[in-house]
Structure 1
Amino acid sequence: MSSLLSGRRVLVTGAAGRIGSVTTEHLSGLGALVTALTIVEDPALKADRVVIGDTRSEEDVATALEGADLVVHLAALAHRDSGTPYDVYTGNVISTFNVLAQAGALGIGRAVVASSINAYGVPMNHHDVLPAYYPLDEKIPSDVDDWYSLSKQNDENTARMAWRHWGIDVVSLRFPHVNSPDVLRRQSDGFRTNPVAGVREGWSYLDTRDAAYAIELSLTAQLSGQHTLFVAAGTTNAPFATEDLLDAFAPRVPRLRRFAGREVPMDLTAARTVLGFQARHELDLPTDRLET
């Protein structure tokens, strides 16, 4: 397939992960030459070059970056409880610094980094807090009290530093919950019985195929600088009207506008404007009456 990525060498870190494996296959299908950097072996990886290594290792990253034109950095401990606080925080921030610093020093022109909705701190916060307003956007005030969210916030700081110091353009994608359609539908079933569980994330979600598509666009869009963008499906993963959900579970949180049907209460303007991104795989859910 002919595309803007045909023949270009793309390093994908965390290539055996949930988003990484789908992204590796997607980019390979577009004609990219994919180097997969993974800490675990996976014979199913759709990459023409595989490096088994650790993104915290300068040597392993240097080996993986050989010949790379573009970088997709997805490797991370992906939850607050994925390890000790020390391991989660240091592993994530060292990996991101190591990858971006080496890529920048090599003169690589573009990197995409997996940030998270958790970079604004509220979703994993153990205090009784809600977002400052809806829709969530890139300027929303943060309230961080866990090490994973802090690591994602500092990954975004690292991206800005790398751009300023080396001139490497970086897109940091604030992913919501990303998963396969079957898992997302099970999550939706959970929200049917316990809808309040999704209030801090605005019931946002993204199909793994759309995550890979957003990464593709981030690699090929005409842009410069460092961009932090929320990406999500345009609808919620709850089978209720968004206004009813907010009335029930966040009645005192200001709304900067109203939401139609199951419209996700997240401002996706930047992703649409900068990348031209719009999710192509949204769940077909009913809009039921919310009983509280």
Structure 2
Amino acid sequence: MSSSLAGRRVLVTGAAGRIGSVTTRHLTELGALVTALSITEDPELKADRVVIGDTRSEDDVAAALAEVDLVVHLAALPHPSAGTPYDVYSTNVVSTFNVLAQAGALGVKRAVVASSINAYGVPFNPHDIRPAYYPLDEKIPTDVADWYSLSKQNDENTCRMAWRRWGIDVVSFRFPHVNSPDVLERQARGFREDPAPGVREAWSYLDTRDAAYAIELGLTASLSGAHTFFVAAGTTNAPYETEALLDAFAPGVPRLRRFVGREVPIDLTAARTVLGFRAQHELDLPTDRLES
């Protein structure tokens, strides 16, 4: 498989994680020389070089950045309950700053960073709220009331600062729920019984293989600056028409356009036009009638 990444040294932080392990293997298969930075050992990592270390440590990150051309920063505590509020917030924002500041100062030209759909604040918000409108897009108003979402919002700010300070081009992905096909299918079965919990995330999902593909495009796309993109499968993970779901669970929320079939109510235009990204692994679900 020919790729412009062949022979280039790519640092992947959080390489043993759900997205990281698949991304490390994908980039290796493209011919990249992958340095995997992980806080835990994983004998299954498909990497040219493995560094066991902490992304909060200046020394560990400096060691991992040796001879690196490109950076993929995925290391994070991925949920508000993944630690104390202090641990979740501080781990995420310090890690992102540390990795991008060092990479930028070294002259690394491109970084891809895992943000989250939670950067807009609504999915984990403890109040009974809905998005400002559908489809969700990169300019949607935020309403943050948890430390994980705040960390992702500030990670995006760090990306913009790093570009302005050091000229490192940064692509941030607002990932939805990303998982393996079997887990996504199990979640879809749950939404068949009760779709209500998916309303704040627009019933969105992404296969881990598509997350790795998006990261590949983020590393190779012809762009400059700091960019944030929503990425998701083009369809929802609920077996009902999107319009029916919104009628039932977000009846008062404005819709900027109508949705066809199970079309995900997220605007994927930017990722499609700038990066050429379209998910290649979507759930094959029937479209059933939603009973009121």
TM-score between both structures, scaled by the size of structure 2? 1.00
- Deviation digits for residues 178-231 of structure 1 (CA, Å, limit 9, x no counterpart): 000000000000101110110001000000000000000000000000000000
Match of 2:209 in 1: 209
Match of 2:154 in 1: 154
Match of 1:119 in 2: 119
DSSP-derived class of the 1:200 partner: coil
Give the aligned residue type for 1:167: G
Give the aligned residue type for 1:132: A
CA distance in 2, matches of 1:189, 1:67: 46
Match of 1:285 in 2: 285
DSSP-derived class of the 1:270 partner: helix
User: Runs ≥4 in structure 1, deviation > 2 angstroms?
Assistant: none
Match of 1:135 in 2: 135
Match of 2:64 in 1: 64
1:177 CA displacement: 0.1
1:238 paired to 2:238: yes
1:157-236 alignment, distance < 5 Å = 157-236=157-236
Match of 1:36 in 2: 36
- Deviation digits for residues 224-261 of structure 1 (CA, Å, limit 9, x no counterpart): 00000000000000000000000000000000000000
1:108 CA displacement: 0.2
Match of 1:92 in 2: 92
- What 5-or-longer segments of structure 2 have no aligned partner? none
CA distance in 2, matches of 1:47, 1:274: 29
DSSP-derived class of the 1:111 partner: strand
CA distance in 2, matches of 1:144, 1:112: 23
Match of 2:14 in 1: 14
CA distance in 2, matches of 1:156, 1:103: 16
Match of 2:3 in 1: 3
CA distance in 2, matches of 1:158, 1:170: 10
Give the aligned residue type for 1:237: N
Match of 1:81 in 2: 81
Match of 2:46 in 1: 46
Give the aligned residue type for 1:152: K
1:273 CA displacement: 1.1
- Deviation digits for residues 95-140 of structure 1 (CA, Å, limit 9, x no counterpart): 0000000000000000000000000000000001000000000000
TM-score between both structures, scaled by the size of structure 1? 1.00
CA distance in 1, matches of 2:17, 2:278: 23
1:2 CA displacement: 2.3
- What 5-or-longer segments of structure 1 have no aligned partner? none
DSSP-derived class of the 2:63 partner: helix
1:3 CA displacement: 0.8
1:26 CA displacement: 0.1
Give RMSD over aligned pairs: 0.4
- Number of equivalences: 292
1:274 CA displacement: 1.1
DSSP-derived class of the 2:200 partner: helix
